[in-house]
Structure 1
Amino acid sequence: MPTQSTALSTPPSPPRSSSSSTPAPTPRSTWTPVAALSFGIAMVVLSEFLPAAVLPALAADVGVSEGTAGLAVAATAIAGAFTAPSIAVLLPRADRRTVLVALLAVAALSNLAVAVAPSFALLLVGRLLLGVALAGYWSFAFGAGTHAVPGKAPVVSSALAFGTSIATVVGIPVASVVGDAVGWRTTFAGTAVLTAVGAVALAAALPSVPPHPAAGLQMLRAALRNGRLMAGIACVVLVALGNFAAYPYIRIAIERVDPVATTGMLLGWGIGGLVGTVLAGVLARWLRPLAAIAPLALAGALVLTAVATSVPVLAAAVVLWGLSMSMMPVITQLWVTRVEPERAESAMSLQVTAFQVAITAGAALGGALLDGHGVRSLLLVGAGAAVAAGLGWAFLRVPRT
């Protein structure tokens, strides 16, 4: 796996003589920045999918259908789709530490705006603001992590994905309970506070992260000319479309079988996600087969969710769903940076764009299917897209590490 050059190119340190008295960094000081980055990821991911945890109450409060309320997720993704490829172009020389801290502050402001929004239209404005923060943070976090801990790209990717899993295994179920108990607006306000704490922690923990010397429009154009990279990005769109046609409406899919089981099922999804994150990091050496198998497992989980009529079957489906989908951020981060190691920042921005485009299209498609044909239809359509992604990756080669 490419090391420091896969993210932010900095001159190598001169060899240290055996007589040097400079102490080696301790594990704690080395990994603290990555932990702070992971917490930031957890906050922006929790913010992105928070509407899924409180969807019925949110929809009723602002006077829209549940399918329309799912656009609160799509709005975030729309802004993210434009932000991810453009932020490095607009800020080619900005210190990535400064940018990351500022983006977390913007995410906190977005959640606060949603918490006090008097209408669905203004709520969407707040969600658009979150999309800017989310896409920018995702685009730079991996590079900042590999800059802080050179040569550990799979571990950094797994750590960031672990933040995603924590958001789902703890954040989403807790948000569902809090939303039912004290209201969805309080849930968003509390998330705003936690996100602000994340910004402060990141400012304290992350050292200066200089940009890649070639960062900007030239790097992005070069990455776009890489045919293998763009074919993989198309597969990212398909698998993310498959998941996000269904995920914003997971609570409705669960309640179709047993409304009482909602919190437990969401917890099961998150536990599966934790396992999937670890597996993806452990199995990263077999990246090509892993990239093909994980989307096919996701498709199986969505089909099983669609046909489930009992709690045990649904539980198995939801856990598999969380496991397989949570492997994808690790897999796709490593895939794009292995295919395009010299322009990893642009490759990462394209990966983030692909996810955001797919989230936008998936949430809109899923909402239309939900309102017109019921929750089973969106689960089956999502499964079909995931199968297409798995088959696509099966035929794409990746360079060996």
Structure 2
Amino acid sequence: MNSCTAAAATSAPAKAAWPAVWSLGLGVFGLITAEFLPASLLTPMANSLSISEGTAGQAVTATALVALFSGLLITAATRNIDRRWVLIFFSFLQAVSSVMVAWAPSFDLLLVGRLLLGVALGGFWAMSTATAMRLVPAAQVPKALAIIFSSVSMATVVAAPLGSFLGNLIGWRAVFALTALPGVLALLWQLWVLPTMKPENVSSLHTLIKVLKRPGVVAGLLSTILIFSGHFAFFTYLRPFLEKVAGAGVEAISLILLAFGVVNFIGTSLAGHFISRSLRHTLALAPGLMGVLALLLTLFGHLTLLDGVLVALWGLAFGMVPVGWSTWLASTVPDEAESAGGLLVASIQLAISAGAAGGGIIFDMNGATGVFTGSALLLLAAMATVLVAVRVRPLPTAE
């Protein structure tokens, strides 16, 4: 066992705290539901606030930008605070954010609510892998991460199709108000089951630089930037694409988004199986498949039924992405998981910002087909980077 692995193993418990893992999963469900809602409610939000769909999409950009800085700074900013209370605070912020967005009379105030969500999102994702490593034995970390990220998939099931469907029935504001409930429930459950987790390492800017200098880390972060830029450029403008290119109605869009969420859950569940066989190939397969699917949508986007199949397959591929890269992080930088997690989150949120913002500009200029073409190029570049430059270490095995 090398020194990095040994250092990480000292904080790993002998017995898994699965209720605590599931409580984090509920918190993730609330965070991701709130994050994804604008994608399914973009049109009614834009109409209600008298702005363009491209401008409304910047609600995603604002959240991602704050999450970028939150992910980088949260470990150092909370270096003396029990991680239990930090995680509980993120659930509180999610609930407050959802209420603010629901009642915001203007786009400016709506953005304030989305900024609070960004603090919680960036902070949680920075600590998610490190927290999983402190709640379960090392060999069970991929399973714990799969549970946490399964909540992401479940959130897409709720946020995308139900957001679109319920938004048509009760209005987008009421849908956002409902998303405060998971945050409140997660807060109460986490108060009950999360153990005390005192900070272990003092993080600083110097620590982040040291992590960046490790072999293969920069290539891995570049790959995540390309993947998430491509994904969020695609997903943020999926509804306008289905409306304007495929001519799909609200019911059809809701079904397609439901298929995305359900199959995304399956992809997350299968991720552990693929990762155990080859982490590198799993990391490369997902963006490669997504890139091909984006190109097919640009060619056959007018066929609604085929669109549904292609979007569902996209969900399957993307389901493997968060688990794969979190597993890569846990195996590559086990001794500085919080700092490395902050860098990974910053990369992802930078990508989301670029994907949503750049996608909005391209959408207003060339429509959704142009957005999807750019998305495909980014994803295929990510696949090539993984195969050529990303360093992958052997995963721990159960004794």
TM-score bracket for the superposition, by shorter chain length: over 0.9
**AA paired with 1:160?**
I
Q: Distance in 1 between matches of 2:291 and 2:266?
A: 18
2:387 to 364, 380, 394: 394
Moved more, 298-307 or 218-227: 218-227
Q: CA deviation at 1:318?
A: 0.4
Q: Distance in 2 between matches of 1:246 and 1:129?
A: 24
Q: Distance in 1 between matches of 2:223 and 2:163?
A: 31
Residue of structure 2 in register with 1:358 after alignment: 351
Q: Distance in 2 between matches of 1:6 and 1:162?
A: 29
Q: Distance in 2 between matches of 1:218 and 1:367?
A: 35
Q: Distance in 1 between matches of 2:13 and 2:19?
A: 21
Q: CA deviation at 1:373?
A: 0.6
- State the secondary structure of the residue aligned to 1:283: helix
Closer, same or farther in 2 for the Cα pair 1:59/1:5, shift >3 Å?
farther
Q: Distance in 2 between matches of 1:353 and 1:76?
A: 12
**AA paired with 2:305?**
P
Q: CA deviation at 1:213?
A: 3.0
1:372 aligns with 2:360: no
Counterpart contact for 1:6–1:143, Cα < 8 Å: no
Moved more, 290-299 or 140-149: 140-149
2:378 to 353, 364, 385: 385
Q: Map Cα deviations across residues 52-91 of structure 1 (whole Å, 9 max, x no partner).
A: 1111111111110011100000100000111101110111
1:315 to 300, 308, 312: 308
Residue of structure 1 in register with 2:285 after alignment: 293
2:33 to 27, 33, 46: 46
Q: Distance in 2 between matches of 1:6 and 1:307?
A: 51
Closer, same or farther in 2 for the Cα pair 1:150/1:315, shift >3 Å?
same
What aligned pairs does 1:97-136 form with structure 2 within 5 A after superposition? 97-136=84-123
Q: CA deviation at 1:10?
A: 4.5
CA RMSD in angstroms comes to 2.0
**AA paired with 1:153?**
V
Q: Distance in 2 between matches of 1:252 and 1:268?
A: 17
Counterpart contact for 1:105–1:196, Cα < 8 Å: yes
**AA paired with 2:74?**
I
Q: Distance in 2 between matches of 1:150 and 1:282?
A: 18
Q: Distance in 2 between matches of 1:34 and 1:6?
A: 23
**AA paired with 1:208?**
T
Closer, same or farther in 2 for the Cα pair 1:252/1:86, shift >3 Å?
same
What aligned pairs does 1:194-205 form with structure 2 within 5 A after superposition? 194-205=182-193
1:176 to 153, 159, 164: 164
Q: Distance in 2 between matches of 1:239 and 1:12?
A: 30
Counterpart contact for 1:252–1:375, Cα < 8 Å: yes
What aligned pairs does 1:2-401 form with structure 2 within 5 A after superposition? 10=10, 30-151=17-138, 152-255=140-243, 256-257=245-246, 258-259=248-249, 260-285=251-276, 286-308=278-300, 309-395=302-388, 396-401=390-395
TM-score by length of 1: 0.92
Q: Distance in 2 between matches of 1:292 and 1:210?
A: 36
Q: Distance in 2 between matches of 1:244 and 1:126?
A: 20
Q: Distance in 2 between matches of 1:172 and 1:199?
A: 24
Aligned length: 387
Q: Map Cα deviations across residues 211-235 of structure 1 (whole Å, 9 max, x no partner).
A: 2234444432321222411111011
Task: Give structure 1 stretches of 5+ with no counterpart.
Answer: 15-24
**AA paired with 1:242?**
G
Moved more, 112-121 or 249-258: 249-258
Closer, same or farther in 2 for the Cα pair 1:41/1:5, shift >3 Å?
farther
Counterpart contact for 1:242–1:381, Cα < 8 Å: yes
Q: CA deviation at 1:307?
A: 2.2
Q: Distance in 2 between matches of 1:168 and 1:174?
A: 9
- State the secondary structure of the residue aligned to 1:276: helix
Closer, same or farther in 2 for the Cα pair 1:232/1:13, shift >3 Å?
closer
Counterpart contact for 1:48–1:73, Cα < 8 Å: yes
Q: CA deviation at 1:249?
A: 1.2
TM-score by length of 2: 0.92
